[in-house]
Amino acid sequence: MPDPIAIIAIVVLLLPQAYFLLASPSFLMVSLAIPSVTTLLRVLFSAHFKLLQVSGAASALAFAITGRFAVALVPASVGVIGAAAKGRFLTSFDAAAAIRDAGDSAGVVRLRQLHWAGMGFNLVLLTAMLVILTRVVPVP
């Protein structure tokens, strides 16, 4: 019989990443030279990193309550990664937007590179979590 708390904890952890995986590619179809588009993309990234922190903490707490302290390290590390990436990524994003606002087209290129890097980061993290969690949480 599967443990419902473990399943809920995994779903809570994977939902923000699945949403970001579906929402972020839509920004590939618009120009990041438009300030309002860049603002929306920044908000998406900021919310994504914040949700990683919250869902990582909630999922780690759920695993810890059920006595799976070693498994709780996986979502806890996701939360820590989200916290560390948020500050660094958004600082780079704001710097690229400032370059773009100064009239340099290199800022738009850098924004697009950051967009791709953020999507790649999410995909790698999501894949790693799926591999790790399927190995440590038995699924019938």
pLDDT tens digits along 90-110: 999 999 999 999 999 999 999
For 109, the domain range is 4-133
Structural domains in the chain (count): 1
Q: What is the pLDDT of residues 40-94, one digit of tens each?
A: 999 999 999 999 999 999 989 988 888 888 888 888 998 998 899 999 999 999 9
What does each C-alpha distance from 137 to 4, 65, 125 come to in angstroms? 11, 15, 17
Residue 78 lies in a domain: yes
CB 82 within 8 A of CB 53: yes
pLDDT of residue 74: 86
* First vs last C-alpha separation in the chain: 7
What global pTM score does this model have? 0.86
Residue 82 lies in a domain: yes
Residue 37 lies in a domain: yes
Residue 18 lies in a domain: yes
Distance CA 86, CA 81 (A): 8
pLDDT of residue 42: 95
Distance CA 107, CA 62 (A): 42
Residue 35 lies in a domain: yes
Residue 140 lies in a domain: no
Residue 73 lies in a domain: yes
